[in-house]
A and B are shown apart, each in its own frame.
Chain A
């Protein structure tokens, strides 16, 4: 589809470079897009594909080391790239506005949020006097569904939750009634329930105001909810553009297929066998199709022939010369269900009525009498050998705290933790070296968990020396083997962490943990910093390692789809208390605990275009820690006083699934609205 007079903004043949260490590197090549009035265009691709760069170019906002080599960005009748600063100032924030990824850094911490919004109005001189401006700010607050606006306007950003902060950012962007809104990963840092509310808000705002949007994200599930059309980018090239339904049902470009295939789904029967191999190597891009080195359909001509977008249909374009011969039906992966390893019969890790707290018992605290409210309360868990127990819940639910307690880096623990039949000391210093060896921790962010000044060789050799006393050739061989186990070759040994990609770094971190030959791996959100294709590879790797080495895992994740694909057992936590535990199949089928239900409803899926709106995470009302159900304040099925005051009972679901709720199982069954959709057809 060619740009029409209906387009709000049009990008024509854009070439864009950044200067890094004295060399100009092309980051966008021949990109053309247009956004129609009231349309939401989604931009998707893995990190480094140029999607954010394109978004900033639409604002004509260039970093000092950036250069436009060719092309135009036409907004209205003007080429934005040719405009001067003052002309841009009149456009940006008024007709084109921006919602950033991280609201915490986007809002000025020392200015009240109401004032930050009115600043936009004052700056652009759109409203006459302060009274009108105040009214407009009020109006914007209710527009973005912020409660009790007069009190909230006077708050500082840190007094708001992440979701509320993002709403303020959206209100700022909408202040001058823009005709185009650019959103750069606006929900990426948020919990899945908060994300679903922001998405619902954006959908409603669009219907109400009718502005066009450019929505940049790495998450295909999110785009399925908000976008009308989607542009898929790879290495600075637009490789496929299609309406959202067509893109998911008939993806033509091999990269799009791989990307869709890499996304795990909560309904594991929908998982696809297609995934992406290799990595984007920026310095080794062929002159023809940039995806050629990773493509299964590529031939020699792809390397040399530059690919241009061709029409598949009127509104579907793909930049692949072989598109006609590529089957748009991606086969469903049927082996998925049997990939999990067999669970051992011995209990390995056992939490018995454990409460955890960050406050140490000190003389000062006991004198002042400040009661330390534990962040995790009365949790009982058990992990068998070779079993994966997933901990899920929103941020602040205590998932990581439990992993830290198991690792021995939390000061205050009450209750008992057992490991391999013996008591486990709360402090790692008081554990035996055998226990230290058998419990290994992998952190979320491999950038922080690898010493930047140590080579891969040094990183891996230390645990070998420490736990097994390896030296000399024995050590050299062991390092090679451990790299091989995570599918890295021995050429990586001399590299430093900054010479590795994110996925490779996480592999090195995994290799380091495996060096100790542990019985238990504690994995704290280890996939969340990685791209989907890398995630898919690591999930496959973890599964294989688990069945080869009989390792048990405590797997912490906010991503229910990943959990569904990797875990044997799941524990759902809310605000430090267990809500539901059970075998993964039983947990993901009704009856659900109300909180599990809320979480499942909030997951954006590419097969389910309309997620339900879930109750907000507001300040918890009515319940003090230890009294009543901690979820009661937010529960959509709350029973009133009973939930507020009495501890809910554990109910056994018969399928080794325990639900802690005042509702009976039959009642919960009746209320369940989330259910697994019928078996996916070939499409």
Chain B
């Protein structure tokens, strides 16, 4: 993988990957340096006169408490991205583990786990997420770790099914039979034989899921079940400022555009990546 190779990969990559990666790079940069670079603190009151409108100093306006919305959006970037990625990663790890192990062991365990997964998949994203939050109880409400777990929990059954489907194909191959004949444990077969051959599928799955995760985090924030104030999570900000939607629409539209562009960028990027990965996964199998 030298520079020339990377360059030709870029040249051949789908359009959506190129646009997506530009948007995503922008947001990653903001996430990295935004918190240091904000003109005002995220909870600094009196940054300007409440409802004083758009100006060069306050591109996204001032909210009801007199906080600078632009600074809050910049500061919130890394929170949204971290929550989304951590949740998706946890979901992929848990899903892969469940999917691969049950696929290999099979039998009634596989049946039971599959039926459970189907039951969870049949519940809409948001409803399932709210159920988990309700079950966790009020003490944990607003904890970032809970949000990560909620995202992971929503994704796990879906990823488990994909991992299982990919593993079922691999299990029929002779090298798995050889491992079985050698008397390898289920864990050893999963780790040595199944996992390396399903990483392609899992990566595709990760990138597709990661694209939607910010939307889920934002929705939870909007409904008030996400991160607690005054942390400037974007969904929460949209919710807080929705009273101003007529007087000061920019305070809602600002974080809204931020969330939308992150989701669009991430989706385009992951979709393009999935196509490339899918291609190489298929090439690898030939």
Residues of A within 8 A of B (CB): 22, 407-409, 428-429, 431, 433, 436, 439-441, 443, 445, 448-454, 458, 462-463, 466-467, 498, 512, 516
Contact B192 A407, beta carbon cutoff 8 Å: no
Most central of A453, A462, A498 by chain B CB within 10 Å: A453
With most chain A CB atoms within 10 A of its CB, the pick from B174, B193, B197 is B174
Q: Are B175 and A449 in contact (CB under 8 A)?
A: yes
Interface pair B182/A462, CB less than 8 Å apart: yes
Given contact pairs A439-B181, A449-B175, A451-B197, a sample of 16 additional A-B residue pairs in the complex whose CB atoms are under 8 Å apart: A428-B181, A428-B183, A436-B182, A436-B183, A440-B181, A441-B177, A441-B181, A443-B178, A448-B175, A451-B175, A451-B193, A452-B285, A453-B196, A453-B197, A462-B182, A512-B178
Residue of A nearest to B178 (CB): A449
Asked if B284 is at the interface of the complex by the 8 Å CB criterion, the answer is: yes
Most chain A beta-carbon contacts within 10 A, residue among B173, B182, B192: B182
The reply to whether A454 and B192 form a contact with Cβ atoms under 8 Å apart is yes
Q: For residue A433, which residues in chain B have a CB less than 8 angstroms away from its CB?
A: 183
Is A409 a contact partner of B183 (Cβ separation < 8 A)? no
Q: In whole angstroms, how far apart are the Cα atoms of A467 and B178 in the complex?
A: 14
Q: Closest B-chain residue to A513, C-beta based?
A: B178
26 contacts between A and B (CB under 8 A): A22-B8, A409-B177, A429-B183, A433-B183, A436-B183, A439-B181, A441-B181, A445-B174, A448-B175, A449-B173, A449-B175, A449-B178, A450-B175, A451-B175, A451-B192, A451-B193, A451-B196, A452-B284, A452-B285, A453-B196, A454-B192, A458-B192, A462-B192, A466-B184, A498-B284, A516-B182
Q: How far is the CB of A297 from chain B (nearest CB, A)?
A: 38
Instruction: Please measure, in the bound complex, the distance between the C-alpha atom of A349 and the C-alpha atom of B180, giving whole angstroms.
Output: 21
By CB atoms of chain B within 10 A, which of A428, A431, A441, A451 has the most? A451
Closest 7 CB pairs of A and B: A453-B196, A449-B174, A443-B174, A448-B174, A451-B175, A436-B183, A448-B173
Chain B residues within CB distance 8 Å of chain A: 8, 173-175, 177-184, 192-193, 196-197, 199, 284-285
Chain B residues with CB under 8 A of A467: 182
Are B197 and A452 within 8 A (Cβ)?
yes
Q: How far is the CA of A431 from the CA of B177 in the complex (A)?
A: 15
Please report the C-alpha to C-alpha distance between residue A204 and residue B197 in the assembled complex, in whole angstroms.
Answer: 49
- C-alpha spacing A458/B173, complex, angstroms: 18
> Which residues on B sit within 8 Å (CB–CB) of A439?
181
Q: Closest Cβ of chain B: how far from A433's Cβ, in Å?
A: 6
B175 and A407 contact, CB distance less than 8 A: no
> In whole angstroms, what is the CA distance A440 to B197 when docked?
24
Q: How far does the Cβ of B175 sit from chain A's closest Cβ, in whole Å?
A: 4
**Contact (Cβ within 8 A) A441 B178:** yes
Bound-complex Cα distance A429 to B105 (A): 13
Number of A-B contacts defined by CB within 8 Å: 58
Q: Which residues of B contact A463 (CB under 8 A)?
A: 182
Q: Cα distance A431–B183 when bound, in Å?
A: 9
User: In the complex, which residue of chain B has the Cβ closest to the Cβ of A515?
Assistant: B182
Question: Which of B181, B193, B284, B285: most chain A Cβ within 10 A?
Answer: B181
Verify B174–A428 contact, CB threshold 8 A: no
Nearest CB to that of A429 among chain B residues?
A: B183
Residues on B with beta carbons closer than 8 Å to the beta carbon of A429: 183
Q: Closest chain B residue to A21 by CB distance? A: B8
Residues of A within 8 A of B175 (CB): 448-451
Q: Which residues of A contact B177 (CB under 8 A)?
A: 409, 441, 443
Closest residue to B284 on the A side, CB-wise?
Answer: A452
Q: How far is the CA of A429 from the CA of B179 in the complex (A)?
A: 12
Would A428 and B180 count as touching, CB distance under 8 A?
Answer: yes
Indicate which residue in A409, A453, A462 contacts B181 across the interface (CB closer than 8 Å): A409
Among A408, A428, A431, A433, the one with the most B-chain Cβ atoms within 10 Å of its Cβ is A428
CA distance A449 to B177 in the complex (A): 8
Which residue of chain A has the shortest Cβ distance to B183 in the bound complex?
A436
Which of B8, B181, B184 is A408 in contact with, Cβ under 8 Å?
B181
Set of chain A residues within 8 Å of B184, measured between Cβ atoms:
462, 466
A670 to chain B, nearest CB (A): 45
CB closest chain-A residue, reference B199: A453
**Residue of A at shortest CB range from B177?**
A409
In the complex, how many angstroms separate the beta carbon of B280 from the nearest chain A beta carbon? 13
Point out the residues of chain A lying under 8 angstroms from B197, CB to CB: 451-453
Q: How far is the CA of A448 from the CA of B173 in the complex (A)?
A: 6
* A407-B196 in contact (CB<8A): no
A440 proximity list for chain B (CB < 8 A): 181
What residue in chain A is nearest B179 (Cβ atoms)? A462
Q: Residues of A contacting B178 with CB < 8 Å?
A: 441, 443, 449, 512
* Cα of A448 to Cα of B177 in the assembled complex, Å: 10
A428 to B197, CA, bound (A): 24
For A22, the closest partner residue in chain B by CB is: B8
| Least CB separation from B285: chain A residue | A452
B242 to chain A, nearest CB (A): 50
Chain A residues with Cβ below 8 Å from B181 are 407-409, 428, 436, 439-441
Per the bound structure, the CA–CA distance linking A431 and B199 in Å amounts to 33
Task: Compute how far the CA of A411 lies from the CA of B284 in the bound complex, rounded to whole angstroms.
Answer: 32
Which chain A residues lie closer than 8 Å to B173 at the CB level?
A: 448-449
| A residues near B285, Cβ cutoff 8 Å | 452
Q: Which residues of B contact A443 (CB under 8 A)?
A: 174, 177-178
Min CB distance, B196 to chain A, in Å? 4
Known: A445-B174, A450-B175, A454-B196. A466 touches B183 (CB 8 A): yes
The chain A residue sitting closest to B170, CB to CB, is A451
How long is the Cα–Cα vector from A436 to B284 in the complex, in angstroms?
31
A273, B183: Cα distance in complex, Å: 42
A466 close to B193 (CB less than 8 A): no
Q: Give the shortest distance, in Å, between A454 (CB) and chain B (any CB).
A: 7
Q: Shortest Cβ distance from A271 into chain B, in angstroms? A: 31
Which partner residue on chain B sits nearest A409 by CB separation? B177
Complex formed: what's the CA distance from A462 to B177 in Å? 14
Q: CA–CA, A409 to B171, complex, Å?
A: 13
Complex Cα spacing A433 to B184, Å:
10
CA distance A443 to B284 in the complex (A): 21
Closest to A522 in B: B181
For B8, the closest partner residue in chain A by CB is A22
What's the nearest-Cβ distance from chain B to residue A575, in Å?
25
Q: State A445–B193 Cα separation when bound (angstroms).
A: 17
Q: In the assembled complex, how far is the CB of residue B108 from the closest CB belonging to chain A, in whole angstroms?
A: 13
A463 to B175, CA, bound (A): 12
Across-interface contacts of B284 in A (CB, < 8 A): 452, 498
Residues of chain B lying within 8 A (CB to CB) of residue A428: 180-181, 183
CB-nearest residue of chain B to A451? B175
B180 touches A409 (CB 8 A): yes
In the complex, how many angstroms separate the beta carbon of A307 from the nearest chain B beta carbon?
34
CA distance A463 to B284 in the complex (A): 25
Q: How far is the CB of B157 from chain A (nearest CB, A)?
A: 26
Least distance between B50 CB and chain A CB atoms (Å): 59
With A and B bound together, what is the CA distance between A295 and B193 in angstroms?
A: 41
Nearest B residue to A436 via CB reads B183
State in angstroms the CA–CA spacing of A407 and B158 once bound together.
36
Complex: chain A residue closest to B182, CB-CB: A466
Contact residues in A for B199 (Cβ distance below 8 Å): 453
Q: Which residues of A contact B180 (CB under 8 A)?
A: 409, 428
CB nearest to B173 among chain A residues: A448
- Min CB distance B284 to A, Å, is 7
Complex-state Cα separation, A436 to B180, whole angstroms: 10
- How far in angstroms is the closest Cβ of chain A from B120? 29
Considering the complex, give the chain A residue whose CB is closest to the CB of B172: A448
Q: How far is A516 from B183 in the complex, measured between Cα atoms in Å?
A: 12
Q: Which B residues touch A453, using CB under 8 A? A: 196-197, 199
Complex Cα distance, B182 from A429, in Å, reads 10
Give, as a whole number of angstroms, the nearest-CB distance from B12 to chain A: 10
Measured CA separation A452–B286 after assembly (Å) = 10
